[in-house]
Structures are given as structure tokens and as C-alpha cells.
Amino acid sequence: MAELHNDIGHGINTYPPNKGVPGMAEFEFNNAVGKETKRLLKGKVNTFEAQPFDGRDIALITRTNQYNARWAKDKTSIGISNHANANGKKDVRGFGVFYWHTSPEAKKLAEIILDEYKKEFPGYPIWGTGLFPSVPNTWTNFHMCRETKGVFVLVEWEFMTNPDALKLLKSNDYRKRCALVNAKSVCRWYGIKWSEDKNPSQPAPKPITPNQKPAQAQPKPSGAYTGGSIVDYLNSIGVDSSAANRRKLAKEYGVSNYDLSATKNLELLNKMRNGKTATKPASKPAASPKPAAKKQTVHLPASAKTWRTYKLNVQPVKKNSDWSLTPSAFGGLTYDILGNPYSNVVTIMTGRGKRNIYVGPETGAVIK
Ligand SMILES: [Zn+2]
């Protein structure tokens, strides 16, 4: 079986001191992407990790010696080292791949990964051209590209030092979809047909209680976002914006031959906005949150490391939380209260659309 050298960049003990930013260790992101990449490739491509998941940092030279030993036995094996980037300037962001400057094969692999990234994340920022030759005696002279004998690239998935990109890097959705980009790229490299159905990246929604029907993620034709990106629109209404879910929505809204292209994305966006009835009967939308009596804000204190959020269509209980805010990383966070659907639960607008959060008196949240 073909083999991927699935490198997660750094060990668990690298932040502190330096591989990370307040709010996220780079390791957390790399580790999650590496694990999901392995899961997605199961049965298709073997993976080998010289830097073990969840493990302490292994010296780069030890790692490349192991990757080279594996390569000597199977010269078709390839490698990807996963990273999150950092820059002194907060506004620098985007996706980029490094390949050794004298290796046309590594450049080809880098181009495939960039192409798959653009397909999965249309319109997301790319750092420069997204492709960087790794050259001796320059800042791009990376050990992983230089010392590996086989085809090996280093991916910087986004910048931890940009606040918007950091939100992405911290989200499970982005991590899973980065792994999907890896898995699709590796399969494309080896000419293995990628089948999404056998590799669901999203678990099927589970009923909240045995007696209750599962809440259908049937988007409502509303949302504060008014721009032209389907991904941003879905995020603004709290609906999964993955390629898989967009394919599903395209079927429901009667967008024929949906291929993730800009044209088809726009067609889907317009149909959803106009509230065109889905071909499948929509389940009853959850009761809309009652508007707050007057305009109030909620402040989540800087002392809170994480704060669970809940999609509007689930009960706001711990097991239903799929994403957390990180007040401490921002010196505290303040939001307008958009609704008050349950006692001690308020609705706010987050980077992932409208969400409910629990703000009971013991939590330290301040409502004004
Ligand atoms: Zn790194």
C-alpha cells in the first residue's frame, strides 16, 4: 500500500515556550489535522508518523532519519509536514506550501495540495502565490524539505498571529477540512479515486433525546450576512459550510450539477436566500428566540479560557457543544444579546453565526 509520512510538525511540549500564541498551541492544530488525515486515508494509504500523535517533541534529524529509512524501502512514499504559521505582523495571513527548490515532484505535490485547498475553501486567503521553493541560505531553508530524500512538502495552513485566521485554526470544522484537503491530495497523487461517502468527515447528526426527532439543519432564508459567499452565508446562519453539506443543500434546493464552482455556489446562495422551498419537506424550525427586552450586552471575562457555544437547534447542554469561544485569548469578549431563548441562556452573533451560550450567575458573565 502507498505510504504517507504524516508529520505533525511539533510535539506536545513545544508551547510554551514558542510554538503557539495565547489561546492555541500550534501542536493542537497540527495534531488534530494529522489524526484526521490518518483516519480519512484508512484503507487507502498507510500513514507513518515519526512524530507520534500526542507525544513529546522528537528531534527533526531523528524524524527525517526515520522517514528516509521508510522511503528507502518504498520509494513511492511521500511526506507532508503540517504547521500553523506565525508572523510579527498581525494582518499577514493565508495558506502556503513549501517544497525543496530542486524537486519538480515535490513542487507537483505542493501544487496539488494548493489546488485542493482552493476547491475546499473557495475565496479563502492564499499567502503570496501559495507556493514557496525551499532554498538554502534563506528563511525558507526548512529541515523537513531539505533533509528528506523522498517527495516531502511542508504546509502552513494559516497564521496563528492573525485573529480571524486563529479562529479558523481553532475550529474543528477547519481542522477536519484541512485533513480532507490532505487526504484528497494524497489520493490524487497516487491516482486513487477519492470517495467521500466511505469517508464521512462529519458524523451523522444524532437525536437529542430518544423521543425527539433529530433537529434538521434546515437553513432558514435569513441571516445577517449579505455578501456573495455561500460559505460565509452558511456560517452566518450557523449551518455547516463543508463541501459535503453544500452538495447536500444543492440537491435539496434543486441546484443541478453542483460542482462547488463559483457560478454554482452563487446559484445555491440565491436559491437559499430567496427561501425557495427545498424539494425535501423542511422540518419545523426551532422556536425562534424571544427578542431581548432592550438592547443588552454580555461580557465574558478574560479569566475564562474557554466558553462553550451551542447551535440554535440543539439543547444548550455540555454534550451538544461543538465549538468554544476563548475569552482569555482576547482579554475578554463582549457581544450584543440577540435573544434569550432559555433561562440563563443568550443568543449572540459569533464568527460561526448565531450561537447560544450559557451565562448563569456562577459563570462570571456580566450582562449589562
Ligand atoms: Zn510549526
316 lies in the same domain as 185: no
147 lies in the same domain as 219: no
On whether residue 198 sits in a domain, the answer given is no
What is the reported pLDDT for 204? 42
Handedness of CA 62, 60, 190, 245 (dihedral sign): positive
- pLDDT beneath 70: ranges in the chain: 196-227, 235-238, 274-294
259 lies in the same domain as 149: no
What is the reported pLDDT for 27? 98
Q: What are the two backbone dihedrals, phi and then psi, of residue 366, each rounded to the nearest 5 degrees?
A: -115, 120
Q: Residue 306: which of 23, 106, 41, 25 has the closest Cα? A: 23
On whether residue 255 sits in a domain, the answer given is yes
Omega cis (within 30) before 136? no
User: How far is ligand 1, taken at its centre, from the CA of residue 85, in Å?
Assistant: 6
User: How many CB atoms neighbour CB 133 within 10 A?
Assistant: 16
User: How far is ligand 1, taken at its centre, from the CA of residue 30, in Å?
Assistant: 8
Q: What residues have a C-beta under 5 A from ligand 1, the ion?
A: 9, 83
What is the reported pLDDT for 225? 57
Query: In terms of residues, how long is the chain?
Result: 368
- The whole-angstrom separation of Cα 215 and Cα 205 is 8
Q: Residue 142: which of 80, 213, 49, 203 has the closest Cα? A: 80
Name the 3-class secondary structure at 98. strand
Domain end, chosen from 159, 190, 221, is at 190
186 lies in the same domain as 270: no
What is the reported pLDDT for 264? 83
On whether residue 263 sits in a domain, the answer given is yes
Q: What are the two backbone dihedrals, phi and then psi, of residue 79, each rounded to the nearest 5 degrees?
A: -135, 150
User: How far is ligand 1, taken at its centre, from the CA of residue 325, in Å?
Assistant: 23
User: How far is ligand 1, taken at its centre, from the CA of residue 301, in Å?
Assistant: 30
What is the reported pLDDT for 294? 58
- Cell numbers for 4, please give them: 504517507
On whether residue 196 sits in a domain, the answer given is no
What is the reported pLDDT for 263? 80
What is the reported pLDDT for 274? 66
On whether residue 47 sits in a domain, the answer given is yes
User: How far is ligand 1, taken at its centre, from the CA of residue 306, in Å?
Assistant: 23
What is the reported pLDDT for 244? 81
User: How far is ligand 1, taken at its centre, from the CA of residue 236, in Å?
Assistant: 31
Domain count, the chain: 3
Domain end, chosen from 284, 314, 339, is at 284
Q: Are 165 and 157 in contact (CB under 8 A)?
A: no
259 lies in the same domain as 322: no
Q: Residue 184: which of 244, 125, 131 has the closest Cα? A: 244
